[in-house]
Amino acid sequence: RLLRAQPYAMTFELTAAELEEAVTERDKDAIAKAGGHLGIADKLKTDPKLGLCGTELSEENLTKRKEAFGVNEFEYPPPKSFLQLCRDALDDLTVQILCVAAIISLGIGAGLKKHREEYGYLEGIAIVLVVFVVVFLQAYIDYVKEQKFRQLNSIKDNYAVKVVRNGEVHAVTAGEVLVGDVVELSAGDKIPADGVFLEGSKLRADEAAMTGEPIGIAKSHDKDPFLLSGTTISEGSGRMAVVAVGSNSQWGVILKTLIVEPSSTPLQDRLDVLVVTVGNFGIGAAIATFVASMIRWIVNGSEGEGWDGVEILDYLINSVTIVVVAIPEGLPLAITLGLAFAMRKMMADQNLVRRLEACETMGSATQLNADKTGTLTQNRMTVTDAYLGGTQYDSVPPKDIADEFAALLAESVCVNSDANLAHNENGTIDHIGSKTECALLQMVEDLRTAGKGNLPASTNFAYVAGREKHEVAQRYHFTSARKRMSTAVPMNGGVRLHVKGASEMVVKLCTKMMQTDGSVTDFSADDLAAAEKAITDMASTGLRTLCIAYVDLDTAPGALGEEPPEANLTLLGVAGIKDPIRPETAEAVRLLRQAGVVVRMVTGDNKLTAEAIAREAGILEDGDDGLILEGPVFRKMSQSEKEAVAVKIRVLARSSPADKLTLCNLQKSLGEVVSVTGDGTNDAPALKDADVGFALGIAGTEIAKEACDIVILDDNIASMAKAVLWGRNVFQSIRKFLQFQLVVNVVAVSLNFISAAAGITELPLAAVPLLWVNMIMDSMGALALATEPPSPHLMERKPFGRSAPLVNREMWRNIVVMSVYQLIVCLVLLFAGQDLLGIDETDGDAHYRTLRVNSVIFNTFVFMQIFSEINSRKITEWNVFEGIQDSPIFCFIIFLTIGTQAAFIEGVGRTVVGPAIGFMNLTGGEWAVCIVIGFCALPVGFIARQLPLDIFPGMTDEEAAAAAMEEKKLAVAAANAAVSKENAALSAGDVNVNIAAKKRWSKVRNVMHAYSAFMAPLTVPVAESRERARGRSLSPTVGDEGDFLAAGLPSPVAKETRTKSTEFRIVPPGSETSVNMK
């Protein structure tokens, strides 16, 4: 930016970089050095009153201004093209292994005459087709969801802005605003660019989207002269001079940090391990097959049977075939289909998934750090309680108030406020101005709806007619000293002064009280005590209270003085105002807690209000060991203290966005799977760093949506509970498919290995039948098991977290028992099939008899997989048919698979192609044998579920969760011990206590780095493949440079490749907290 501005440095005395830095750092000294707001205007060649004028509006000078400071357009991260998405899908490790297998299979099948005659090349073609389906399906899904997101998050940069040019106010689009423009602002306006305050009246900006401040920030020359792009004016009016636009503004600066690729998900980490394990199993079986075949070849050769070298090539081909069979081609397809199905269903549940893997990750989530406003609550200040006529009401408006009382209450609210309501395009009502005043205006609407106060019916808001009815004679605005606002209106020759303000102050100014029947009585000391008790009770539950009163005066409207005559007031009532929780919040929190997800409120509100909302929502309950902390306290803690409380916190009040980011990273470092909600621009770092970031679709800013993984279209925490349910269903579906797929692979590989080792030249499962099994079982099985709807029981179990194994002990039990059963059946048919099936020498030659047996083995194997697929619907439950009527896709695929297999056997088997590729058509009796043996897989699966788990390998989810919990306890205990040690060291004044520990840790760290360097040749290729599959490259920075040098290792970061992190301050002025975002 600075380089771009240099050719025009003589034109303007300030550069874009200097102005951007001043706003970023909220540097009031820089403004003062430039001569204050007037000096800034002068250096930008603009007039504080007239704006850009004269020659500055010439085409040449406007061009220079644009070249020096840029235009007000934001560079949003561009969506990836379809080809880029295809390339990302090809970077997946499993897909790459499939590509290698396809090349080998095509080379052997097409290159060798024997295999070419047996259509051996079909296997390679089919694998290529699988790769194409996976890659294009994945790319298409990513492309479509990104297009949907862009449509949802279309940036409305062309809203109208009022700028002053040549002393006249012009309406221009936000994109036409330039540095130096003077912009007129009023309540409700969105600030189009960064600016410096020039002048105004009661000007306040709602900067919650940028800084997290829950209340409007007053703007002035002394305290806070900076107005930030993307925020809105909540109250008052004024003018500002634009100092930064587009990518140089705060909105643009944050946007540039969002082009950061997300980290891997728990499922991706598990799958990487599984693919390597399965690959090792296949390679081991292939080597064992080749070695056994070679031993037999050597023995046979030594016994005089000849040394045919072609047989060695056949052995090698058979071994390669085993490796190809071992690779689960359907695994990427199953994952893609499962995630795509979940994404489509989640869209119906108001969750727009931007990152497909986030579907599953949410199912593993253990922590949810939720915003209060808009997520747990309705984001609408509302009068929920009231003290009227000496009676406490918890429902407003009350049914027993007289029309006279309601009319006067409505009059007081209408005339004594500056706020406004406005209808929104989506059917909601916008609050413009003070949120508490808007709550009172909404109460007037409720009075009219309830038929109270004889308020006139109209298509407009009720308060509008109330204001039009009464002319304002004098208005005394709210001040921090008076803590109240008063408005005088003419009434019967005198005036009526309406007063509202801090309850504890206004109530003491009252000498009378209007009863709800309209009568006026004296306000006694007992009445005062009762009113103060009501105020205290409402405040203790987190309500903001406002006292409403009036007094009738004989003073003429023109005779009112500068000070309001606020005495001898008549009390109308005290309103209790809060942002109420959504009706569904408590149930959603209960479901999440039941599911083992710790729900935590992170809010900028005060501790009292936050605690009250947390208890109402069910986040805090009596007997919980949850902590309630405030942001300033949390920030002052040491790292060890933060680690000790990171998981225990249930409410973090008065928090900043930096606190949310710190909390998120702390929890991740403790092994938690963390989800975060956010709606503001300031939440972008936490949304990006969390395992799953939820942005609010209605209240969220465009930048928050850009940074997130899932957009909650209805801003509702209940939608997050549904996301957890679907995420767990995805994980469970992948487990079901793996349970099914591993049986296929184990049996196929083991059968061919035993056959080859036994010297059988015609393998029972030839290349094409094996491919057919893989295609039918993988593709059909993936589609069937991935599209099963979720069971509500999934919300009754603990989250999978990062520790749960992908294949747990219950799955190993099913896999082992089913594999043993199928392998025994196939081996019996292989070695005794001719006798059992009644096939003798009269039926044909040896090749024909072998072909008949192999055909039965092939068909039996397929039908065992079909019924095994039904078994795989459940992992631990006995009734595998439960809910099958709710899975029409599953049922359809089962029947389709049976029909396809029958057509394959009887159709292709009767042609010359069938015997050439390893099978033939079957008799009716052989069909019956195949179906009965296949059906027996169901009772075998039932028996398997009755066996004790202790005799099987692996870990149960409960054991994994217990181990993870123990690790967390140890981590927290270590943090607590570190805190105690730090405190002891500080109290003893011994600053050298930690030196020995640091030296020991340095040695351990050096050993770890040395080990990492030693293992790098093995681990880096897999890691690089995984990172490329995520759409990014592996960072050259593996650790701290000093650690490597201390270990005697070369620095992993070349001097020329080191990059400096961009520090961006996202907190209010005066705070020292900042976030480094790389």
Residues known to be catalytic: 371
Contact indicator for 765, 856 with CB cutoff of 8 Å: no
Beta strand pairing call for 692-696 and 710-712: parallel
Tokens 């028996």 correspond to 943
Residue 136 class from Cβ within 10 Å (0-12 exposed, 13-18 middle, 19+ buried)? middle
User: What long-range pairs does 211-219 form, CB within 8 A, spacing at least 24?
Assistant: 211/656, 211/657, 211/682, 211/1066, 211/1067, 211/1068, 212/604, 212/655, 212/656, 212/657, 212/680, 212/682, 212/683, 212/1067, 213/604, 213/1068, 214/373, 214/603, 214/604, 214/605, 217/1068
CB atoms under 10 Å from CB of 123, counted, come to: 29
Alpha-carbon 102 to chain mean position: 37
Residues listed for the chain:
1078
Q: Take residue 383 and report the two structure tokens written for it.
A: 């009068």
Distance CA 464, CA 458 (A): 10
**Alpha-carbon distance 856 to 928, whole Å?**
10
Extract long-range pairs of 252-256: CB within 8 Å, 24+ residues apart: 252/74, 252/75, 253/20, 253/24, 253/1064, 254/681, 254/684, 254/703, 254/1064, 254/1066, 255/74, 255/75, 255/76, 255/77, 255/703, 255/706, 256/75
Residue 712: how many other CB atoms lie within 10 Å: 28
Contact 850, 861 (CB under 8 A): no
Round to whole Å and give the CA distance between 351 and 716: 10
Do 373 and 379 touch, CB atoms closer than 8 A? yes
Q: What does DSSP say about strands 710-712 and 1062-1064: parallel, antiparallel, or unpaired?
A: unpaired
Both tokens of residue 409?
Answer: 């209450």
Q: Are 1052 and 1038 in contact (CB under 8 A)?
A: yes
> How many C-beta atoms surround the C-beta of residue 403 within 10 A?
14
Give residue 882's identity as a one-letter amino acid code.
E
Cα torsion at 225, 229, 235, 239 (round to 10°)?
A: 60
DSSP tag of 882: T
Q: What tokens were used for 131?
A: 């790769």
Beta strands in 731-879 (DSSP E): none
**In the block, which residue shows the tokens 């080379």?**
107
Asked if residue 204 lies in contact with residue 233, where contact means CB atoms within 8 angstroms, the answer is yes
Main-chain dihedrals φ then ψ at residue 377, nearest 5 degrees: -110, 180
- For residue 279, give the 3-state DSSP assignment: helix
Asked if 593 contacts 599 with a C-beta cutoff of 8 angstroms, the reply is yes
Handedness of CA 595, 597, 602, 608 (dihedral sign): positive
d(CA 63, CA 85): 38
Helix (H, G, I), strand (E, B) or coil at 275: helix
Beta-carbon count within 10 A of 133 CB: 15
Q: At what angle do helices 846-871 and 809-836 cross, to 10 degrees?
A: 150
> Is the Cα torsion angle 20, 22, 26, 28 positive or negative in sign?
negative
Of 857, 499, 678, 327, the residue nearest 663 (C-alpha): 678
CB 974 within 8 A of CB 818: no
Q: CB atoms < 10 A from the CB of 128, how many?
A: 17
Q: Which H or E run contains 820?
A: helix 809-836
895: which 2 tokens?
Answer: 């029947």
